[in-house]
């Protein structure tokens, strides 16, 4: 599996009684889940994130509503926007990916699956620090 930011189409089992989507470690994404958290009740206009991780890989899924994940390309100083609005689409974010989440719809719920347990020292909260890490490799 590629270690690039990418959208992943998850299995969608359609049924007249309601659809079902599932995830399996290593089948749908390249890591075992160590932590799960979700963000919700984000006030209109607010932004979440604004950081990268040193080691952590992450999957983000919109369980309800919609939001945009903005991924900064440090080489070109451009950004890519990934709109998540279907629960069968997942966004894979490898380590050293600068991101923030914005444009939350009413009642949006973002599910985050992480490859590591919470570690405050794994966060890179300054984009210039991330650029330095990548440059010095």
Beta-strand ranges (E) seen in 1-137 are 6-9, 12-13, 20-21, 35-40, 48-53, 58-64, 67-73, 78-84, 89-93, 98-102, 109-114, 123-124
More confident call, 44 vs 83: 83
Q: Which pLDDT belongs to residue 123?
A: 97
> Both tokens of residue 104?
């939350």
CB atoms inside a 10 Å sphere around CB 92: 22
Work out the average pLDDT over 84-106.
97
pLDDT at position 77: 83
Mean pLDDT, range 64-77, rounded to an integer: 93
Phi and psi at residue 58, to the nearest 5°: -145, 145
Q: How many CB atoms are located within 10 Å of the residue 111 CB?
A: 19
Give yes or no for residue 128 having a pLDDT over 60.
yes
Catalytic, 112? Answer no
Q: How confident is the model at residue 28 (pLDDT cuts 50, 70, 90)?
A: confident
pLDDT at 87: 96
The answer, yes or no, to whether residue 1 has pLDDT greater than 70, is no
Which neighbouring-strand residues pair with 68? Answer: 83, 102
Stated pTM of the model: 0.93
All domains of the chain, ordered by start, with CATH? 6-136 (2.60.120.10)
Backbone φ and ψ of 38, nearest 5°: -140, 150
Q: Is residue 116 within 8 Å of 59, Cβ to Cβ?
A: no
Of 51, 96, 100, 112, which is the active-site residue? Answer: 51
């Amino acid at each position: 599996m590629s270690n690039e930011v990418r959208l992943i189409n998850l299995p969608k089992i359609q049924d007249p009684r309601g659809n079902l989507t599932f995830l399996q470690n290593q089948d749908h994404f390249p890591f075992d889940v160590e932590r799960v958290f979700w963000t919700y009740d984000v006030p209109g206009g607010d932004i979440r994130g604004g950081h990268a991780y040193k080691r952590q890989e992450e999957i983000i899924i919109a369980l309800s509503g919609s939001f945009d994940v903005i991924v900064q390309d440090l080489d070109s100083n451009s950004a890519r926007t990934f709109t998540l609005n279907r629960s069968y689409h997942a966004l894979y974010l490898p380590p050293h990916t600068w991101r923030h989440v914005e444009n939350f719809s009413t009642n949006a719920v973002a599910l985050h699956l992480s490859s590591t347990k919470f570690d405050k020292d794994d966060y890179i909260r300054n984009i210039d620090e991330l650029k330095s890490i990548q440059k010095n490799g």
